[in-house]
Structure 1
Amino acid sequence: MVARRLGLGLLTLVLVSLIIFFGVNLLPGDFAQAILGQSATPDSVAALRKQLGLDVPGYIRYFQWLGGMFQGDLGHSLSGDRDIATMIGPRFGNTMFLAVYAAVIAVPLSVVLGILAALYRGSIFDRVVNVATLSAISFPEFFVAYVLILFFAVQAGLFPSLAEVSPGMALIDRLYVCFMPAVTLTLVTTAHMMRMTRAAIINLMSSPYIEMARLKGISPARIIVQHALPNALAPIINVIVVNIAYLIVGVVLVEVVFVYPGLGQLLVDSVSKRDLPVVQAASLIFAATYILLNLLADVLAILSNPRLLHPR
């Protein structure tokens, strides 16, 4: 099953790489023209395009790029001729740190809120939690980020408005600087995980073994935690891993708002410079991360419920 999913994931990644390469090359403008300026002559533009390899037909450049990717060669940046792997490595590490930071806050919070909402279904607490989480997820990430900056950075002065991190920064300082970006990502992902946890548990509350546990006089909290939650793990794990994938690949806007030196910020900067190899490499890394995490979600769901291996 894992090998089959890996094969499908690899095929999906190849199709996505095809879309990324030709989609990026359809962007308006010309990199050689942008470097030389509007006063450049056609001959100088053509010479620079040949030097950068942009005069080669698109399908040849695609296969060269894809072959290099499979060999671990991400190529060189057109601006500065820097190795893309050395550019992306630290940036991707920063993005992963922010995603893990947000997940450490969001996952326990979502599961606890989902369990409590199922335990007190229909109560004021259940309604308030649903309204609050749905309100948070309804706003775009950049709007939530600017609201947090307004209240906690500008007015209260509790946290910095810019998430400036450096390689030698201490962990406690990095956690402090990245707190608002992590909270922004938490607010936009908590609702989905919380509602799935709540729905999965409520769906099991009418099962015969739950009714038997009630007849035995077991407390509702113990029924949910010890009996309903273990059997509801498959959909909960699936939605948690999918949201973690979103935390990694959906941080572009948050990184831009907080000027966080992650892969999303690098992607936006490279688009503005028309540095096509960097844009392609960053986009493919995001796509590969999302596909691998979806595979991980399927595997973990099956491990928690082996019946999913067999067709119904």
Structure 2
Amino acid sequence: MTMNAALIRAILRIIGASLVSLVFVTIAVFFITAVLPGDVADALLGQAATPDAVAALRHSLNLDKPVLVRFVIWVNGLLHGDFGVSLISRRPVLAMASERLIHSLLLAGVTALFAVPVALVLGTASAIFRNTLFDRAVSLLTLCVVSVPEFLVATLAVFIFSVQLHLLPSLASISDIHSIGSFLASFSMPVTTLACVIVGQMSRMTRAVMIDALGSSWVEMAVLKGASPAHIILRHVIPNVIAPLFNVIALSLSYLLGGVVIVESVFHYPGIASLMVDSVAARDIPLVQICALIFCAAYLFLTTLADIVALLSSQRRHAA
């Protein structure tokens, strides 16, 4: 009971630290968006607007109040479930972000479904056959892929497969998906672009984790007992590297949060990242704030989940 109580306290500390981080992130998001260059009222009304009209709009948006007063008003709205309305469309920003978030989750899910198994297999195989020609080839290929920025991969994909070969559409339009073929056509280039760097990063980290596990004492004992390589990997290595591998997967998936911004912009994919880019260009501050909070909350969720899994795995090993 004492051990279970200590475990619960440790999990609560992890969750508490994440909540504190979320509070600081919320504060940072507001004040960073508050100092964005340009005047929202001027951007909304245009250059032909009269000073009286600009002043009236600034008053209606609370822009004439001190920044600390605006922060208190904003936080009070968040605590009451009011995330504000878009300055452009006058729609609730939470509803707008939720619609786009579903599209981004679909893109991230398809990418993870493809990239995670490939990365784990490549990383595990490289660890098993380390210092061989296969290992060197995979290491060189993944290093090259990681070194290439996403926007360059996306641009080259559009130029080759859309402009030159006319095989795939340059725009990833969800509304045009009516079959498996159209789904594959729309998602092939965005998913491949995101998967390139994720596979490269995850496979290299998986290789390091697996090599460390293969050099452990329990694996040496299994080898001395005559266990087959498959038995060693499945029964001795993988159960002991679940937590590190989950950390690898969580960190790689959190990368998607940044990668989708570039990919959605290049392919005009209607996700939350492209919505955030458009709202920054339009000085739609409430929409920028909710998008930034969603990105930060998703990152904190993934890292917190990875920490909890690592803690539970460590507890299981000690109990064993």
TM-score (norm. length: structure 2) = 0.91
1:162 and 2:162 matched: no
Q: Contact conserved, 2:177 with 2:186, CA < 8 A, in 1?
A: no
1:108-149 residue CA offsets vs partner (Å, 9 max, x unmatched)? 001100111011111111111111111111111101111222
- When structure 1 is superposed on structure 2, of 66-75 and 259-268 the one drifting more is 66-75
Q: Deviation at 1:249?
A: 4.3
Aligned to 1:65: 74
Runs of 4 or more, structure 1, over 6 Å off, are none
Q: 1:230 is matched with which residue?
A: 239
Report the secondary structure of 1:251's partner residue. Answer: helix
Give the counterpart of 1:42 among 38, 51, 59. Answer: 51
Deviations 1:2-51 (A, max 9, x none): 22222211111111111111111111111111222223332221111112
Q: Does 1:198 align with 2:207?
A: yes
Gap runs ≥5 in structure 2:
1-9
Q: Distance in 1 between matches of 2:314 and 2:201?
A: 21
2:117 to 96, 108, 118: 108
Query: Measured at CA, do residues 174 and 70 of structure 1 come closer, stay the same or move farther in structure 2, by a change above 3 Å?
Result: farther
Matched, 1:272 2:281: yes
Q: 2:34 aligns with which of 6, 21, 25?
A: 25
| Aligned match of 2:158 | 149
Distance (whole Å) between structure 1 residues aligned to residue 161 and residue 206 of structure 2:
30
SS for the counterpart of 1:190 is: helix
The Cα shift of 1:229 comes to 2.0
Query: How far 1:175 moved relative to its partner?
Result: 4.1
Q: After the TM superposition, which residues 217-296 of structure 1 pair with which residues of structure 2 at under 5 Å, given as runs?
A: 217-296=226-305
Change (3 A) 1:209 1:168: closer
Residue type of the partner of 1:103?
A: A
Q: 2: CA distance between counterparts of 1:101 and 1:255? A: 14
Query: After the TM superposition, which of the residue ranges 170-179 and 203-212 deviates more from structure 2?
Result: 170-179
Q: How much does 1:151 deviate?
A: 2.3
Q: Is the 8 A contact 2:14 2:308 kept in 1?
A: no
Counterparts of 1:24 and 1:61 in 2: how far apart (Å)? 12
TM-score with structure 1 setting the length = 0.93
Q: Return the offset for 1:167.
A: 9.2
| Structure 1 residues 217 and 52: alpha-carbon distance in aligned structure 2, compared to 1, 3 A threshold | same
Deviation at 1:174, TM superposition (A): 3.1
CA shift in 2, pair 1:128/1:282, >3 Å: same
Query: Aligned partners of 1:206 and 1:287: how far apart in 2?
Result: 37
1:122 and 2:166 correspond: no
Residue in 1 aligned with 2:312?
A: 303
Identity %: 45
Secondary structure class of the residue paired with 2:107: helix
Letter in 2 for 1:66: V
* 1:93 corresponds to: 102
What corresponds to 2:4 in structure 1? Answer: none
Q: Which runs of 5+ in 1 are unaligned?
A: none
Kindly indicate whether the alpha-carbon contact (under 8 Å) linking 1:302 and 1:308 is maintained by their aligned counterparts in 2: no
Q: Is the CA contact (8 Å cut-off) linking 1:249 and 1:290 kept in structure 2?
A: no
Query: What RMSD, in angstroms, separates the aligned Cα atoms of the two structures?
Result: 2.0
The amino acid across from 1:77 in the alignment is S
Post-superposition offset of 1:309: 8.8
TM-aligned CA distance change 1:274 to 1:177, over 3 Å? same
Matching residue's letter, 2:195: T
Distance 1:304 1:268 in 2: 39
AA aligned opposite 1:146: T
Larger mean Cα displacement after TM superposition, 13-22 or 158-167:
158-167
Q: For the Cα contact (< 8 Å) 1:113–1:129, is it kept in 2? A: yes
Which is worse superposed, 248-257 or 216-225?
216-225
How far does residue 172 in structure 1 lie from its aligned partner after superposition? Answer: 5.6
- Taking the aligned partners of 2:259 and 2:13, their CA distance within structure 1 comes to 27
In structure 1, which of residues 6, 10, 14 is the aligned counterpart of residue 15 of structure 2? 6
